[in-house]
Amino acid sequence: MKFPRSQRWFPWIASLLALALQGLARGQGVFRMDNFSAPTHVDSALGPLAGTNVLSMTLAGSAPDQLVPAGPTLSYLGGGRVRPEDVSVPGVPAFQYAFVQLVAWDSARWGTEFKRVPEAVLGKTDIAPVLLYVANGNVRWSPAFGSSAIVPTSVPEPSGLSLLGFAGSVLGVFCWVRATRAQL
């Protein structure tokens, strides 16, 4: 097709525009991390809402069993809500679904580094799907969690029955060693 001299720039502009749009469509997927649907509580589902001493980390991935830490450590505004933050999901492009979970912990007790927090003291939401968008886009989707993260403030202690079993085992070993020495 032959364009008039004044429109010869059209194929070049159209090609560049198509390349730019393709780059956007294949870019890293991003979502807005916000737990408005399920605010974080302390100690129980009816306990107080999480305050500024609680920190959170977003776990995200392409499947529910492939969640990895994504984005920065999130602080709380009070009232159980995290400070909203755009989070990119590694390996999942824009306009695809990713799976997201919010984990929370008491930073006064366990510090600010997620990797140093024991698994047993993490409060966790359920895993929710979220549609990713292009970074710097106007549309912002957030995950709709069905259950709140509940942050325990006390360390789980062994039950009395398990302590009694341990003491019985130690006593049994002690008696066996004593009986064996008496036979020598």
Q: Are residues 130 and 173 in the same domain?
A: no
Beta strands at 41-42 and 150-151: parallel, antiparallel or unpaired? parallel
Structural domain that includes position 165 = 158-184
**Strands of the 28-33 sheet, one edge to the other:** 85-93, 28-33, 133-134
Q: Are residues 127 and 43 in the same domain?
A: yes
Q: Are residues 69 and 47 in the same domain?
A: yes
* Banded model confidence at residue 23, pLDDT cuts 50, 70, 90: very low
Query: Could you report the per-residue pLDDT of 69-111, keeping only the tens digit for each?
Result: 999 999 998 899 999 999 999 899 989 999 999 999 999 999 9
Rounded to 5 degrees, φ, ψ at 12 are -70, -45
Q: What is the distance between the alpha carbons of residues 93 and 128, in angstroms, rounded to a whole number?
A: 17
Mean residue pLDDT across the chain: 84
pTM: 0.70
State residue 166's pLDDT score. 75
Cβ atoms of 73 and 111 closer than 8 Å: no
The CATH number of the domain where 66 resides is what?
2.60.40
Q: Are residues 85 and 134 in the same domain?
A: yes
Q: What is the DSSP letter of 169?
A: H
Q: Are residues 31 and 47 in the same domain?
A: yes
